[in-house]
Amino acid sequence: MSNTTDQMPLKEDLVREKYSAAENLLDGFDHTPRLAKETKPKAASQRSPGIGRRRRFRTTTPGLVTKSTARPEGVHLAERVSASRENDPLTSPAQASVLHALRRALAVSMLVSDQYADQTGLTAMLKDNLAGNLGKSKSAEFGDLLAASALISLHVFANMTGFLLASNHASAAALNVEIGEVAEVLCDNPHLALSGALWELDQDLALFADSDEKLLAVVIAFTEKLMDKVALRAANTPKLGAFTSVSYHVEDDNFVIDGFTPAVRAKSTPLTMTFKKPHEVVGNHIAKYQAMKLSKMLMAYDFERKLNPFAELGGFIFTFMGDGAPGTGKTTLIQMMAGLINGYCENAGYVFRYENLSTDSIDSYQGKSAQNAKAFINNIIDPNVIGFGTIDDIDQLAGKRGDRQSSAGQLEITAVLMESFGGANTVVRGNCTFGMFSNYPENVDDALRQRAAARFLVDGPISRADYIDILHLLMGENHDIPVGDHKLFEAQKIEKAVAASYSSHAKPHEDGLLEVYEGTAKKIGKLDTITKLGTYLKAIQEVDARFTGRAVKNITDAVKVRAMDFELPDAWMENTELFLAKNYDTTLAMIKDLSRPITIDMVIQEINRYADSEFRYADKSDEVAIDNAVRDMQRMEEARRRCMKGKK
């Protein structure tokens, strides 16, 4: 994973230099569809003879006279937009907005494509190819770079068009227009790619845009579908690193290009869940404590730097897994954490976005499940919001590779989550976190489960005091039954409970891991050096081959979180001037002052906590497999018995 804070500005004068080329595309061009079918759109409505037809755009390049060579039957998108309202010769504000957005987006798209070509050597190859000097050894690379440049052009065009229109026309953006899938996505070169996209947009406008509101809605819907299709293509396209590793910024529009992530104006999603207070989460001490800490960590995110000091210091939890038996409080934990973040954001004036990826996202249509999962990820990682994404019952949602019972849709979701949570292009800014929850974590794909950097064991009420507290809490107030000899919620005091929970991991809980721990300590003595700890890790790996380098990384991340083992004071959340309103460097220094040194006890406890969870999952997985095998054998035996009985 990487942290990215730099943004490359796209200068306004360079953008405007592309206006002439953008206007020529909007004015008219020829295109013969290759992937999509022509719908024979209606011709632009006729105007009165006294009203002249003139170009909607005029070149801004002094001294340059351009002449359109497009045939009358070609694509005239500017004319198509102006014809969206019957019998009205004047350009409406909506039509002007669409034309402005299209021209602006095309210009930025061309500029970004040119910069990519300069950075990758594609510009020089284009010159060599034009002169017939491109060697055969470079032909494959040349094709890959052209395809990558075409996808970049399409994404930036669609991304910026949708961004400019959706932010200024919210009612039209909310209008549901079914335009079908985008098919004419060409990857030969940027110019052909943009021509194909504009041709298909022209087809959709002819069919559906019969009013200003429909015009806006069709263009916005088209850009969303185009971005989805391009993102799927980009997932399997090489040579994109020079684009995805850099963020671009168009200052005049406050538009940020961050790889293939859609840029949308920050807006909250309405929350209808019932929030829970921390004292209403009984038991689950470490899980509750870490959720409370993480909620405040998110608030340290700096919207100008697009980075959280905790992410820079290495103490931020980007992904975590909460597992436990049914009824132990996973949903309550989600309600508590979402409620805390929502309250903090309301006080600070931040946009908070919560979303849950549910089984409704699994679709029988090929590729649709992946699109749904990617849309969920993109909504949460939006750098302009504070995000919290949950995946409840992930064992049902994400398929386990190699499991014949996993559907194609489930496997698509697994692939998207793996790439998003620990892929080469994953960027951790510290503005969002993802929680995966399951009653049966052993059924989650091993590689996906290991992408959960933190483990929240949701074991519910454990002690006698826990059960008294939860009974009193759930009984409500409509009774006069005395409490008796018990101090309510005394056992839920978080600092005391957490300290005891952490200390309990000085030795492993699982029998298999305890045997490894004691065997290692017997051979090399007390685990008090890096060398001895590494020896212990290797001993664990020899017993469980799934305990890889990623497991060690997750453990070290958890240790760094322990170094940040403090809660930001409540006063800092209530009075924004004390912390949230300060600049990035100041908040970073304040957090460093609160941090604590890493100790050998922390490392041992986190090794045992993480390894305990893996051994627990493995034991459950093995037991499930054995039980299934036994049932299969019993069925076969019964079938054989009935078969023999029938023969008699």
The pLDDT of residue 595? 83
Q: Are strands 247-250 and 255-258 parallel, antiparallel or unpaired?
A: antiparallel
Q: What is the DSSP string of 532-550?
A: HHHHHHHHHHHH-TT--HH
Query: Across 85-94, 372-381, 535-544, which has the greatest mean pLDDT?
Result: 535-544
Nearest to 321 by CA among 429, 422, 409, 466: 422
- Residue 70 pLDDT more than 50? no
Q: What is the DSSP string of 140-205?
A: HHHHHHHHHHHHHHHHHHHHHHHHHHHHH-HHHHHS------------S-HHHHHHHHHHHHHHHH
Report, as an integer, the average pLDDT of 69-83: 75
- Residue 335 pLDDT more than 70? yes
The pLDDT of residue 566? 75
Q: Which of 106-110, 334-338, 345-349, 624-628 has the lowest mean pLDDT?
A: 624-628
Model-level pTM greater than 0.75?
no
Report, as an integer, the average pLDDT of 437-448: 84
Query: Across 239-253, 268-282, 392-406, which has the greatest mean pLDDT?
Result: 239-253
Query: Across 180-184, 191-195, 381-385, which has the greatest mean pLDDT?
Result: 191-195
Report, as an integer, the average pLDDT of 108-116: 95
pLDDT confidence tier of residue 492, bands split at 50, 70 and 90: low
Report, as an integer, the average pLDDT of 469-484: 85
Cα separation, 179 vs 201, whole angstroms = 10
Report, as an integer, the average pLDDT of 451-468: 81
Give percent of the chain with pLDDT exceeding 90. 31
Cα separation, 397 vs 360, whole angstroms = 9
- Residue 621 pLDDT more than 60? no
Cα separation, 272 vs 393, whole angstroms = 20
Nearest to 295 by CA among 335, 355, 349: 335
pLDDT in tens, 500-553: 677 888 899 888 899 999 999 999 999 999 999 999 999 999 998 888 888 898
Query: Across 178-182, 272-276, 566-570, which has the greatest mean pLDDT?
Result: 178-182
The pLDDT of residue 66? 39
Report, as an integer, the average pLDDT of 281-298: 83
Helix (H) or strand (E) holding 438, with range, is strand 432-438
Nearest to 31 by CA among 230, 210, 232, 188: 188
The pLDDT of residue 524? 94
- Match 């100790």 to its residue by tokens: 599
Identify whether the C-beta of residue 16 lies closer than 8 Å to the C-beta of residue 107.
Answer: yes
- Residue 67 pLDDT more than 50? no
pLDDT confidence tier of residue 175, bands split at 50, 70 and 90: low
- The CA-based diameter of the chain, rounded to the nearest angstrom, is 101
Identify whether the C-beta of residue 429 lies closer than 8 Å to the C-beta of residue 3.
Answer: yes
Which residues are 9's β-sheet partners?
249
The count of residues in the chain is: 648
Fold that domain 278-625 belongs to in CATH: Rossmann fold (3.40.50)
Q: Give residues with Cβ within 8 angstroms of 353, minimum separation 6.
A: 267, 268, 269, 379, 380, 382, 385, 386, 387, 388
The pLDDT of residue 619? 60
Report, as an integer, the average pLDDT of 7-14: 88
Q: Are strands 352-356 and 432-438 parallel, antiparallel or unpaired?
A: unpaired
* Strand ordering across the sheet containing 255-258: 7-9, 247-250, 255-258
User: What is residue 86's three-state secondary structure?
Assistant: coil
Alpha-carbon separation of residue 340 from 566, 568, 619 (angstroms): 17, 13, 35
The pLDDT of residue 597? 87
Q: State the Rg of the chain over Cα.
A: 29
Nearest to 266 by CA among 384, 387, 167: 384
Amino acid residing at 573:
M
Helix (H) or strand (E) holding 124, with range, is helix 122-130
Cα separation, 230 vs 252, whole angstroms = 26
- Residue 24 pLDDT more than 50? yes
pLDDT in tens, 599-617: 999 899 989 988 888 887 7
Outline which parts of the chain fall under CATH 3.40.50.300: 278-625
Alpha-carbon separation of residue 71 from 53, 68, 76 (angstroms): 16, 9, 10
Residue 528 CB: number of other CB atoms within 10 A?
12
pLDDT confidence tier of residue 61, bands split at 50, 70 and 90: very low
User: What is residue 433's three-state secondary structure?
Assistant: strand
Alpha helices in 349-486 (DSSP H): 368-381, 394-397, 408-422, 446-449, 464-475
Cα separation, 237 vs 254, whole angstroms = 28
Q: Which of 183-192, 254-263, 280-289 has the lowest mean pLDDT?
A: 280-289
- To the nearest whole number, what is the mean pLDDT of the chain? 83
The pLDDT of residue 470? 82
